[in-house]
Copies of this chain bind each other. A is one copy, B any other.
Amino acid sequence: MATVKLWTDSDANQSPRVKAVFDDIRAVRGSDFINNFSRGLANDPATLERTWNSLKEVMIAPSALDPVTKELIYIAVSVSNGCGYCIHSHTAAARAKGMTEAQYGDLLAVVGMASSTNRIVTALGIPIDPEFEVVS
């Protein structure tokens, strides 16, 4: 159970700020579906607006990385942060955007590999090689 009320469409219709975001989500995504995260965020319209605007800018607007790659990174972070909801929603999004099962297998292999070496490096207190100290 959530710590806040999940807003129904009728609830949203009572708040012009929330309704405007829900309408924009539906228009941008071309779907009537509003997920539970947005329905929970609706309790704080300022955070709902800021989050949705950032998501549009970062995840939806065309940029240097293609949509599937951005979803793979999103999943990798969500796994590392242990957010079950986020893992489920972005794994579904990645598949909807074209992620293949072979790519998904690769993602998990890299996440597992990195998680393992990250901790061993940290345990050993390995100093950064001068060769890596370069900027673009």
- List 13 A–B pairs whose Cβ atoms lie within 8 Å, in order of A's numbering: A37-B124, A43-B105, A43-B136, A50-B57, A73-B114, A76-B77, A77-B118, A78-B114, A80-B81, A85-B122, A89-B129, A115-B115, A115-B116
This chain's copy number in the assembly: 6
Give a binary string over A71-112; 1 marks a CB under 8 Å from any B CB, 0 the rest.
Answer: 011111111111111111111100100001111111111111
A28 is an interface residue with CB less than 8 A from chain B: no
Return the chain B residue nearest A74 by Cβ: B114
A125 is an interface residue with CB less than 8 A from chain B: yes
Given A33-B131, A105-B47, A118-B78, CB of A111 within 8 Å of CB of B73: yes
Given A57-B46, A136-B4, A136-B5, CB of A64 within 8 Å of CB of B106: yes
In the assembled complex, the Cα of A128 lies from the Cα of B19 at a distance in Å of 22
